[in-house]
Amino acid sequence: KLKVISSSQHPTETQHLVAEAVGLPFHQVVCEVKRMGGAFGGKESQAAPFSAMAALAAHKLKKPARIILSKDDDMKVTGKRHPFKNFYEVGFDNEGRILSLKVNLYAVGGAYTDLSPSILDRAMFHTDGAYFLENALIEAWVCKTNSHSNTAFRGFGGPQGTLTIESIIEEMALYLKKDASEIRVLNCYGKSDRNVTPYGQVVENNLLPELFANLLKSSDYLSRRKEIDQFNQVTKGQVRGLAITACKFGISFTARFLNQGNAMVNIHRDGTVQVSTGATEMGQGVNVKIQQVVAQAFGLRMDQVEVMTTSTEKNANTSPTAASSGSDINCSAALLACEKIIFRLKQVAKFYFSGMILKTIEEFEIDPHFKEGSEPIVFRNNEAKFKDQSISWFDLIQKAYLNRVSISDYAHFKTTGLAFDRATAHGKAFKYFTAGTAVSEVLLDTYTGETKILRCDLLMDLGRPMHYGIDMGQVTGGFIQGVGWLTTEKLYYNDKGSLISHSPTTYKIPNIQDMPREFKVDLLENDLNTGNVHKSKAVGEPPLLLGASVFLAIKNALSYRTKNKNVELSAPATPEVILMELNRS
């Protein structure tokens, strides 16, 4: 038997691959995942091989074994976000309305398949971005190369697809001599018409028109555009740019069978609660959200609920904590388990409120057809209340236990309503969409190519946020990570395919100097997303896509120096890349 402690987003996959590597059946391997220090998709599949290496040594030697990669080795051998090279043909009218679009996507997969096909799927699903495409042909290929296999990274192909359509619109605006914001608003998905994706899914509860209108107003976009026009006409050595972009990110795994999870909730005799799910905590706050959902269900304080270490012996056959769905799936499973317990506790409470005394000689029996009636029993502030009567949570748990009423339960959750047919590439691929808009302004130094981000305004629809602080952290962090991807994080390889930018000295992530001088983030109020737990929307990946606004603001700034000629700007737009484009103008 083996116990594996791994830094993995997918304990079940790690369990299974370790078992296969050492020749054991699955039930003789347990994978446990404690809190990770970050993951962002890179630990969905990449953690399993190193777990298998350690497990093989432990199994053969009958001794504990451990493997830890240095940061340099980690960066050299593990996967990165897939580089894409995309080609397009677009047809549009004089107003800027897109009439037809053909896109070919080419992704660098590396030496092994890894998750490349699924990432390619999501890139294709997100090539429409926030915009209605009446006629579209989207094709994609994965290219095998002599480098490490590329893998999941926050956004999972969505950023590469969305950046394509946003770049197309920017180039259309230059051709038509219009502001790109006009083109975006014109082509934005509608509410009652022009609201069907190229793969046939209706964009329901669509707030993209409001997101555009509200942000254009709150960011003072039009007056700033005039100010930038004047600045760029008279200023030497510097040039400013401005762009607004949007995201519409589909929430669900594109592989339908992964949209499931389970939870186990145990109430102890002192009234405290333990909850176990398949979710893995990597700093994104999923454990806090699960803790909050369970506490609210029982009317308890959050410190009365403990989220347990993730382990395959408690929660088997779970999906990875990925695709922005970790909170959706696992909070929903935990809530279902709570509701099964509450169903029994309400009957105990109602029996108590009726004046009956629960005695061991006349044992209380659960009625599987129990209905509360018009006045429900409410669990709040460590009490169960019915009309003007109440019983403390502690006393209720004692009465349930003494009468052999179960105060533990397990629940399985699956995301409903998914109906995508891969054979016809048509159907409902996602449960819902998380949308947002961003306006970014940059200042370029034309002598050095240095970029300063002057201001960023973000507005997102996260439904009714489960935890405002966590969600705001995800929005700001995801956005800056997207900015890093598109402006500073350049990978360099030698002629043998080996990564040579594998340390903080050669690979530049954003630091404090790369932050916007003004950073304004707001959430649009929306109670319409009734299909998800507590009317919330997923937040993990969508804000990263809004980093495109900084990239396209750079492209916009360069267009002032090229006299409105299109700039074929490659990402990331490092100072070197910007300087080369300036020298061409």
Sheet holding 29-33, edge to edge: 2-5, 29-33, 310-311
Sheet of 451-461: strand order equals 238-251, 432-445, 451-461, 518-523
Are the beta carbons of 181 and 439 closer than 8 angstroms? no
Side chain identity, residue 189: Y
List the beta strands (DSSP E) in 349-450. 378-380, 383-386, 389-392, 408-414, 419-421, 426-428, 432-445
Q: Which of 44, 170, 541, 581 is catalytic?
A: 541
| 3-class DSSP assignment, residue 200 | coil
Show the beta-strand stretches assigned E in 329-404. 378-380, 383-386, 389-392
Q: Locate tokens 């069978």: which residue?
A: 257
CA distance 319 to 12: 7
Give the 3-state secondary structure of residue 445.
strand
Query: What distance in Å separates the CA atoms of residue 289 and residue 308, rounded to the nearest whole number?
Result: 13
Query: Positive or negative CA dihedral for 511, 514, 518, 520?
Result: negative
Dihedral-angle region of residue 535 (phi above 0 means left; psi in -120 to 50 means alpha; beta otherwise): left
Contacts of 271 (CB under 8 A, 6+ apart): 300, 304, 382, 393, 394, 397
Token pair for 404: 């052999």
541 is catalytic: yes
**Residue 247 corresponds to which tokens in the numbers above?**
């995201």
| 457, 218 Cβ separation under 8 angstroms | yes
Q: What is the largest CA-CA distance in the chain?
A: 93
| Amino acid making up residue 522 | D
- Measured CA to CA, the distance from residue 331 to residue 354 in angstroms comes to 33
The DSSP string of 54-80 is HHHHHHHHTS-------HHHHHHHS--
- Residue 35, CA atoms < 13 Å, CB-side half-sphere: 9
Q: Are 555 and 243 in contact (CB under 8 A)?
A: yes
Q: How far is 201 from 454, CA to CA, in rounded Å?
A: 38
Q: How far apart are CA 126 and CA 143, in angstroms?
A: 20
Cα–Cα nearest to 50, from 32, 34, 65, 71? 65
Give buried/exposed letters for 132-164 (b at 16+ CB in 10 A, else e): bbeebebebebeeeebbbbbbbbbbbbbbbbbb
List residues with catalytic annotation. Answer: 541
